Amino acid sequence: MGLTAAMRGFFVFLLSVSVVLGQTGYGVTYSSTQICAVKGSTVEIKSSFTYPYKVGRRSTTVEKTFWFTGSEPDDLSTDSKYSGRVTHSCNENKCTLRISDLRESDSAEYKFIFITNQEGGRFTGSPGVTLTVSVLHVEAKKTSPILYPDWAEVKCQSRCRLSARSYVWYKNGLNMNKDTYSVQQDFSPGDTVSCAFSGHEDYRSPSVYAPKLPSVSVSPSGEIVEGSSGTLTCSSDANPAANYTWYKTQTLVSNGPQLVLSSVQPSVSGEYQCTAENTMGKMSSRYITIDVKYAPKLPSVSVSPSGEIVEGSSGTLTCSSDANPAANYTWYKENQILSQGSDGVHAFISISSNNSGNYYCKSENQYGYSKSSSLFIDVQYPPKLPSVSVSPSGEIVEGSSGTLTCSSDANPAANYTWYKENEDSPKASGQIFTITDFRPEHRGSYYCEAQNRRGRHNSTLHLVGVTGKLPVKLNVIRLTLMVLVPLLLLILCMRKKKLFSCGTEPNEPVEAVEVKEIRACDQN
């Protein structure tokens, strides 16, 4: 019995002859054991069965017929997978299973079964009918990507191995007037290509086409912070499925639809792009910017102009730090805040010696802060008004020694030179001027000059007086007094001690006692 396959809506291929199976008068015959049909079409599987009309004295009646798949004989019409797509009909001993809107999952071995009133009267044909539901698809490959980058070869493929078939090719939905199994032609990135078997154009293959404009997503969304992780995902509508490549500013960084960023560093920041490519062409995404946020790095500090800083000049301190977003800056001198701002600059209009000291800056944004190392500012200035001191103070005795000391605030430290009024030649150099043997000619006014490479400054005049030497007699008198005065004091003390040792009478006046005792002591 043949299978009607040329009806409208049917598209099947019979790949083997029918087989009759049976025993003791029972049997099932299938019109074909293998059928190949195109997805979306309708197929009819036909069978016939035989049975003895009487077993012994009992007549045989057929009580139920149905189709099933698998090892368990469950009626196919009750399977929800086939709901609305399966019909089963019998005309006497000829039965037909009709499956519409075929799906790839319908590929299976189908068996017919009939049940009679006789004992053990359940019979099926084995093997059954193998149905293969095929999806036409276009296989494409580049013919010569270097010489002809837009050319590709397309082939109309099917799971059913068929020969002597003509084909219909479509480009952007229009018939290409090609009837061969394969076609070589140039295809633009936006073209779609599909195929069908001639005479069954309603069952075209899915279209193949180059990737559409890829889209890029970032996970997690929002800001990417240093040390965190994230994933860039590229996707594109393409058939066949696209292969993906990631670039950072035109430098290849990864292959695959996802670019994983682990423990993100600031160097990850930049412009990223993905390219989707298949045998029909390729397409690149728009650039996506990755902007890694991070706390300020160690700030660097500088002073301008560089070199030595001179009192009265102007200058600036500059603090800079790599940070995202940009940092705000605070300048400190010896832990005291000087200025704050976004430019990191602290300006000196007219530098003074008070500006000398240690400076540092702090850079800060919402992700953290960092402090710079200290910068020492050494302001140089000429000597201030020198001060002069004399030792010993007052007039210096002729023949003795004396010291004059000069001091001045200066940076760098001053050098000193001593002068006597109305004399051009210096008397001495150094901070201390010592005269070991003062003579009358040393009498006069002296001043010192303090100088460094920034300038010089003279002290005021300082008068130094010299007294003459004492006469010899006066020296002798002075020496005699120095000896006799202590001796007289000792004698008086001893006499007073003897006075109290002579005793007194009770109730005598003190004056009387003293006179009496003196006399008594004298008598002794």
**pTM check: above 0.85:** no
Which of 53-57, 172-176, 490-494 is most confident? 172-176
178-192, 207-221, 227-241 — which is least confidently predicted? 178-192
The owner of tokens 């001043």 is 447
Whether the Cβ atoms of residue 465 and residue 435 lie closer than 8 Å to each other: no
Asked if 237 and 212 touch (Cβ cutoff 8 Å), the reply is yes
Give residue-wise pLDDT tens across range 315-368: 999 999 999 999 999 999 988 999 999 999 999 999 999 999 999 999 999 999
pLDDT score recorded for residue 485: 73
Domains observed in the chain: 12-134 (2.60.40.10), 137-209 (2.60.40.10), 215-293 (2.60.40.10), 300-377 (2.60.40.10), 387-467 (2.60.40.10), 472-523 (no CATH)
Among 45-49, 433-437, 462-466, 497-501, which is the least confidently predicted range? 497-501
- Confidence band (pLDDT; 50, 70, 90) for 126? confident
Q: What is each CA distance from 313 to 348, 381, 412, 524, in whole angstroms?
A: 8, 10, 16, 95
For residue 447, give the nearest of 436, 468, 433, 467 by alpha carbon.
Answer: 433
Higher pLDDT, residue 7 or 142:
142
- Residue predicted with more confidence, 296 or 523: 296
Tokens of 174: 């229009």
What is the tens place of the pLDDT at every residue in 314-325?
Answer: 999 999 999 999
Cα 152 vs. chain centroid, distance in angstroms? 43
pLDDT number for residue 145? 66
pLDDT tens digit string along 374-430? 999 999 999 999 999 998 887 888 888 989 999 999 999 999 999 999 888 999 999
Given a cut of 70, is residue 465 above it in pLDDT? yes
SS (H, E, C) 193-230: EEEEECCCCCCCCCCEECCCCCEEEEECCCCEECCCCE
Q: Give the largest CA-CA distance in the chain.
A: 196
Mean pLDDT of 494-514: 51
Percentage above 90 pLDDT, the chain: 57
Per-residue model confidence as pLDDT tens digits over 242-295: 999 999 988 999 999 999 999 999 999 999 999 999 988 889 999 999 999 999
pLDDT at residue number 502 = 47
Average pLDDT, the chain: 85
Where residue 161 falls among pLDDT bands split at 50, 70, 90?
low
